[in-house]
Amino acid sequence: MEIQIFENYEELSINAARLVAAQVRLKPDSVLGLATGSTPLGMYAELVRMHEEENLDFSEVTSLNLDEYLGLGEEDDQSYVSFMREHLFSKINIDPEATYLPDGLAADPEEAAMYYEMLADMVPRDLQILGIGRNGHIGFNEPDDVFPVETHVTDLTESTIQANQRFFKSEEEVPRQAITMGMKQIMAAKKILLLASGAEKAETIADLVFGEVTSQVPASILNLHPDVVIMLDEPAARYLVEEYGFDEEEEDED
């Protein structure tokens, strides 16, 4: 794992966008695995700026998002399909037909999950963007006794419901289930970029980097992937540095 620490959220976002932009410039028909949540917002804003001011071209890019709430669709402000349109897809020249998310409104969610798994098999990601939950989840792969393998319907944990209620009018409105890619599709990406910002992620990040690989910290599986970049702002890196003595300069020399 390569760990990069930035002074603040803005620097983190700019550098994350640069990595995505390099991927798209080097391989214009890249398949990007995309994530929602607060963390990638700054990166998406920077990608939009690069599209507007620096001709970053998404016309040949395909994207697959990690997950979608069950019961929400494009008419709902809080669905992930709406999030992606609002913050990225409507502001760049990606072909809307080449942007995929699981179908949160499917009559048969299990079947929708199977369909998404098949689709993901057909278009492997060149670069997968990930956020991380305070409980260590990636996508909506919540802590459990085993690592979930395939795209599946999942119950959100209480900690995730509470963390996400800030986007809804009340806790009751937060969906209780989602369709999420499992670990197989996440780990199949050629390269993975995980972003974390803020002190509330600091302990989880230290568990991910220095703890054992365990399904109780789902992101810890990334230790088994050959090409992972973790970008952190200083608050999210605090435990690594203060409790574990992590030194970025030393790592660079290895």
- Pick 8 or 38: Cβ nearer ligand PGA: 38
Residues 6 or more apart in contact with residue 127 via CB below 8 angstroms: 19, 20, 23, 30, 32, 33, 189, 190, 191, 192, 193
132 lies in the binding site for ligand PGA (CB under 6 A): yes
- Pick 57 or 234: Cβ nearer ligand PGA: 234
Q: Is 137 a catalytic residue?
A: yes
Q: Is 67 a catalytic residue?
A: yes
Q: Which of 33, 102, 104, 131 binds ligand PGA (CB under 6 A)?
A: 131
148 lies in the binding site for ligand PGA (CB under 6 A): no
Q: Is 135 a catalytic residue?
A: yes
Q: Is 152 a catalytic residue?
A: no
143 lies in the binding site for ligand PGA (CB under 6 A): no
Q: Please pick, among 67, 68, 103, 117, the residue that the annotation labels catalytic.
A: 67
Within residues 37-56, the interface with ligand PGA by CB under 6 A covers 37-39
Catalytic residue numbers, as ranges? 67, 135, 137, 142
Site residues (vs ligand PGA, CB under 6 A): 37-39, 131-133
